[in-house]
Structure 1
Amino acid sequence: MKKLLIFALAVLFVISAFSFKAIMVTDTGGLGDKSFNDGTWSGIQRAGKELGIETMVIQSYEQADYVSNLTKAAQEVQKEPDGGIVYAVGFMMTDALFEVAQQFPDVYFAGIDIAPPSENVPPNVICFLFKEQESAFLVGYIAAATTRAGKVGFIGGIPIPPVERFRYGFETGVKVYNNIHGTNVEILKGYTNHFSDPKKGKDLALSQFAEGVDIIFHASGACGNGVIEAAKEKMVSLVGKNDLVSILDYAYNNGGYFAMGVDVDQDYMAPGVVLASAMKGVDTASYYGVKWAYEGNWDPGIHTLGLKENGVRMSPMKYTKGLVDNRTLAELAYLVTLIKNGILVVPDTEEALKSFRTPKIVFPF
């Protein structure tokens, strides 16, 4: 009898522990992009493990899947005694998210990189936006300081607002470096018009390298995997070896070809070749969205995260920091304080970028 009671309590615990469900609906980039979708999913999984709740993912293969997948996810959540939360990942899902959210007012919805189409945000929806331009500024400054060719590249996916904010920040970082140091680093720009085709990214990267670029920053989802692959192939062809020590030794003395990652820390994808990554806390946002919904601390509306909120950052450059001189790193640390204090405002629109003027900056060292 006692054993039966213990078994019944155990079953009850398992049932109660999984009575709240968090479901992520990917955009067409899908899991395995080593970027935006993977980063969001890691935050949801972390919350799931911490809170003891079930997590699942629904893959979208084309944009026509968005409404049906979000609907399917909401219906799954409705089956749970304690409800749950549905994540829509990416700007391209904006219309689908708000269409479905209105149909399921008792289900929590969270949008990553999704801005409401109007000022009226339904009480069951939370939107996380990021100041991508601030993290991109950091890698732009590093690129301008590190290039030996005097020409760097930017490769975007589809030119949607988050991608463009990365570009604005990257261009501003290069411009500020040029203005402070009297250099004239140029930027070559291109778009894959896709987020899930690494070959397009690789082909465009090889084209930019052929035009004299030696560092490329990508904001192109899984297309960026191809950008990184292109940089690695070019670097290995120069070095003649594939190991980290040989790559770093060659790069320190001669420069070479580099990529710069996006969204998450992509430095590991090609150690010594990915110079730095412009990160945004999609994992942090997805983690807190689940946690707030589960614990009843729901705060609907828009949450915009930047350097000041620790919502964006640059990768720690685990493999490549030695390729950047200490003076540049110190300057960058000081510039971060200026951004956090609102003294240096990184443009977030094309108009602001065109009118941007570098403020007077005097480093205290």
Structure 2
Amino acid sequence: MKRFFMLAFLVGLIVSGFAFKVIMVTDIGGLGDGSFMDGTWAGIVKAAEEYGLEYEVIQSKEQSDYIPNLSKAAEEADVVFAVGFLMSDAFFKVAQQYPATYFVGIDFSFPEEKNLPNVMTFTFKEQEGSFLTGYLAAGMTRTGKVAILGGIPIPPVQRYVIGFEAGVKAYNQIHKTNIKVKSVYANTFTDPKKGKEFGQALISEGYDIIQQACGGTALGLLEAIKEENQKRANIDNLPEFIDDLYKNGGVFMLGGDIEQEWQAPGHILASAIKRVDVASYLGVVKAYTGEWEPGNVELGIKEKGEGISRMPFTKGLVSNKLLAEIVYIQNLVGIGKIKIPSTEEELKAFWLKGIEIPF
């Protein structure tokens, strides 16, 4: 019997010694944004629990934390995730120092001179998801004015903004309308107070649908929208509340990265989906199963990495024709018939030549 317990103890030590561990290191945005960071973490948790792996998160409080946090993670884990464009420089510096550890970067790609065999990165065609919500916003606005609030104007956020503007532009071209679009930056991903101030200002200027691309700052934008809607329709019953917004007009946020509608049913019209959860899930699985593929993976509508949410609470507010138009256009993007601009120069030249809605 003693031999049995000793054997079991030794097996346990061996198994624990070879346990595969995943650590995610956040940028200063941190968990709790209900968007980008939370979505990435959800994919890691799903993969880790599916395969019985250990997992942990280290949250950075300031940018000077990036290198020590990534280094600490590399010493403890088999695969390290760095989440957020602002971490890219620190990420590649640390990845070079730990060649035996897998590193996955979310939202940034390889510099040409740093093609490391232990590094995989994921980037997204953010402009494709926000194009769809921009088109939806243009078709749903009652004031003729829609807006997008970005965080820090880094490349992924700039693509969000350009795609949204392109979606409004496409709607105007197809429907011969003149919907106005405004783009502003909060210059932060972590300041709900500032998000609320921007939201209140935009609402006072008549913008009734506002896309968020600002991480945790959007929590304040959402608060401003909820307060405005409650002034207009102080109704507790959700179906009656949504019905009142439909009849009398309300203001809506458009979510970003994940399906955010569940955070404030009725107040969020739809969400531009950026499947950070798919990217992080794939990163874990490829590292653990030995299917590792160093290099960058770009996800868009074609790869099912970008899209628009199911609109679980507000789909009934959207006409069947507008919904069908969005599906039709999304399919054209997926097969390459429509190329969504990703730069200001491409946006200026953007025109849907030969594209007609066949219904």
Provide the TM-score with structure 2 as the length reference. Answer: 0.96
Paired with 1:258 and 1:249, the residues of 2 have a C-alpha distance of 14
Q: Distance in 1 between matches of 2:30 and 2:227?
A: 25
Q: CA RMSD in A?
A: 1.5
Q: Map residues 81-120 of structure 1 onto 2, 5 A cutoff.
A: 84-120=78-114
**1:168 counterpart letter in structure 2:** I
Q: Deviations over 1:296-331 (max 9, x none)?
A: 111011100000001112110000001100000101
Candidates 346, 351, 354, aligned match of 1:352? 346
What amino acid does structure 1 have at the position aligned with 2:54?
Answer: E
Task: Work out whether residues 174 and 356 of structure 2, in 8 Å CA contact, stay in contact via their aligned partners in 1.
Answer: no
Quick one: distance in 2 between partners of 1:244 and 1:134?
A: 31
Q: CA deviation at 1:3?
A: 5.6
Question: How far apart, in 2, do the equivalents of 1:46 and 1:9 lie?
Answer: 29
Q: CA deviation at 1:36?
A: 0.9
Which residue number corresponds to residue 16 of structure 2?
A: 15
* Residue identity opposite 2:56 in structure 1: M
> Is the contact made by 1:235 and 1:257 (CA closer than 8 Å) also made in structure 2?
yes
* 1:284-299 matched pairs, under 5 angstroms: 284-299=278-293
What one-letter code is carried by the residue in structure 2 that aligns with 1:20? F
Q: Which amino acid aligns with 2:5?
A: L
CA distance in 1, matches of 2:138, 2:246: 16
Give the secondary structure class of the aligned counterpart of 2:280. helix
1:17-72 alpha-carbon deviations (Å, 9 max, x no partner)? x6111000001110111111111111111111011110000010011111110011
Aligned to 2:55: 55
Q: Secondary structure of 2:173's match? A: helix
The residue identity in structure 2 corresponding to 1:161 is P
d(CA) in 2 for partners of 1:329, 1:339: 16
Q: Which residue of 2 aligns with 1:247?
A: 241
Deviations 1:65-114 (A, max 9, x none): 1111001111112xxxxxx1100001000100001011111111010001
Q: Aligned letter for 1:23?
A: I
- The 3-state SS of whatever aligns with 1:222 is helix
Cα displacement (A) at 1:337 = 1.1
Larger mean CA deviation between 177-186 and 114-123 belongs to 114-123
TM-aligned CA deviation for residue 14 of structure 1? 5.2
Please state if 1:303 is matched with 2:297. Answer: yes
Percent identity reads: 52
Matched-pair contact (CA < 8 Å) for 1:135–1:307: yes
User: Which residue is equivalent to 1:320?
Assistant: 314
C-alpha distance in structure 2 between counterparts of 1:14 and 1:322, whole Å = 53
Equivalent residue for 1:133, pick from 127, 151, 170: 127
Distance 1:106 1:243 in 2: 56
* Alignment gaps of 5+ in structure 2: none
SS of the residue 2:215 aligns to: coil
SS in 1 for 2:105: strand
| Contact kept in structure 2, 1:157 and 1:194, CA below 8 Å | yes
Distance 2:314 2:342 in 1: 28
1:175, 1:68 → 2: CA distance? 45
Aligned match of 2:179 in 181, 185, 193?
A: 185
Give the Å deviation of 1:242. 3.7
Q: CA deviation at 1:118?
A: 2.3
Cα contact 1:236–1:247 (8 A) shared by 2: no
What per-residue deviation string (whole Å, max 9, x for no partner) do you get for residues 126-151 of structure 1?
Answer: 11000110000110011000000000
Q: Decide whether the 8 Å contact of 1:239 with 1:246 is kept in 2.
A: no
Tell me the amino acid that sits aligned with residue 88 of structure 2. Answer: T
Which residue of 2 is the match for residue 30 of structure 1? 30
- Given that 1:126 and 1:299 are in contact with CA atoms closer than 8 Å, whether structure 2 keeps it comes out as yes
- Displacement after TM superposition at 1:5 (Å): 6.4
In the aligned structure 1, how far is the partner of 2:239 from the partner of 2:7?
Answer: 57
The range that moved more, 267-276 or 109-118, is: 109-118
How far does residue 226 in structure 1 lie from its aligned partner after superposition? 1.0
Once residues 12 and 359 of structure 1 are traced to their aligned partners in structure 2, the CA distance between those partners, rounded to angstroms, is 65
